[in-house]
Each structure stands twice: as C-alpha cells, then as structure tokens.
Amino acid sequence: MENEPALEVSSSQPPPPKPKVGVAVFLLKGNKVLLGRRLSSVGRNTFALPGGHLEFGESFEECAAREVKEETGLEIEKTEYLTVTNNVFSQEGKATHIVCVFMRAVPADLNQQPQNLEPEKCDGWDWYDWDDLPKPLFGPLEIMLQHGFSPFPTT
Ligand SMILES: Nc1nc2c([nH]c(=O)n2[C@H]2C[C@H](O)[C@@H](COP(=O)(O)OP(=O)(O)OP(=O)(O)O)O2)c(=O)[nH]1
Ligand SMILES: [Mg+2]
C-alpha cells in the first residue's frame, strides 16, 4: 500500500470560519406571529423569531421543535418548511455567515402562554399582529418582509 501523504502541519493561522445553519420558526396564531426582543450580541434589541442553530444529525422539524421548546416552553405542530436565506453580515467587527432555514408551525395548545426560558438571550415573547409588527425587526427578517414574504398559508 502506498504511503499516505504526510499531514500538513498547520501554521499558527486559525482555521477560516465556516457558515452555520440557523433554523427560525414563524409560530402562527390566527394572524399573529410570536416574536421576542433579542438580547444576544447578534441582532441585539431587534425583534426576532424563536430559533437557533441546527445540531448535528437533526432534521429542520426537530430543530424547530427543540428551539421553540427551549426558548418558550411551547410545543408546536404542523411544522413545515417555508424558505431559506443566506445571511452574511459583520457584527461587532466579526464576520458572520448563517444560512437560515425558515419554518412555520402552530402551537399545539392555543391557550398555552409562551414563557421566557432564556432571559439572557431574549427580553420576552409576545404575539404580534402581522399588520402591526414591532420595530426594529431582526435584519434577516426585515429584508424578507421588505421583499413581500408572508409566512401564512394561502388558501
Ligand atoms: N432566532 C432567530 N434566528 C434567526 C432569525 N433570522 C435569522 O436569519 N436567524 C439566524 C441568525 C441567528 O444567529 C441564527 C441562530 O439563531 P439564534 O441566534 O437565536 O441562536 P441561539 O443562540 O438561540 O441558538 P444556539 O446557538 O443555542 O443553538 O439564525 C430569526 O428571526 N430568529
Ligand atoms: Mg435563539
């Protein structure tokens, strides 16, 4: 058997950053959507959907259910894929690249109130009328809306 080429010993340079995969969930109740004001460094003080990063081996639906449960305590159902966006931005001098998968879902129990289970990341969750959304929205969300995106099913 031929010898494997010797592994190149890396120099002191850190490895280049890689894109991450985010999953964000339009949780819908009538004409309302669940939003919370972010306290995380990315998009601080802007209103965003519940969501987070895809874990190794997870489906988009599993990630959506896990993140919504971790952040709000709500169980979701009728989870469906909507769209994907490619977000490259610079935050506090740090380049960030996130491919974000947007899902929609409805709460399993319409009477269950969202809880703020990660208060270090979010100021609190509330339902907002689609026609009267709070400002400012998280950048990637704002751009989608400016392009006329709607998460509601067309029937
Ligand atoms: N939560 C959320 N993330 C979004 C939205 N739009 C969007 O592009 N993303 C992207 C950028 C976020 O940095 C990325 C991951 O979400 P996140 O920032 O809430 O992550 P997290 O700390 O809750 O998750 P984790 O690292 O603990 O898994 O998804 C949105 O409306 N809400
Ligand atoms: Mg999150």
Predicted local confidence at residue 15, as pLDDT? 85
| Closest approach atom of ligand 1 to CA 137 | 31
| 103 sits in which H/E element | strand 94-107
pLDDT per residue as tens digits for the range 95-133: 889 999 999 999 999 999 999 999 999 999 999 999 999
Rounded-to-integer distance, Cα 106 and Cα 21, Å: 22
- Long-range CB pairs of 57-62 (<8 Å, 24+ gap) are 60/23, 60/101, 60/103, 61/103
Which of 116, 121, 138 is the pocket-test mutation for ligand 1 (most atoms within 8 Å of CB)? Answer: 138
As for the ipTM of the complex, it is 0.97
Is the bond preceding residue 136 a cis peptide, omega within 30 degrees?
A: yes
pTM of the full structure: 0.92
Cβ(89)–Cβ(20) below 8 Å: no
pLDDT per residue as tens digits for the range 36-75: 999 988 899 999 999 999 999 999 999 999 999 999 999 9
Predicted local confidence at residue 155, as pLDDT? 72
Which of 42, 58, 146 is the pocket-test mutation for ligand 1 (most atoms within 8 Å of CB)? Answer: 42
pLDDT at 11 over 70: no
36 lines ligand 1 (CB under 6 A): no
Using left for φ > 0, alpha for ψ between -120 and 50, and beta otherwise, residue 45 falls in left
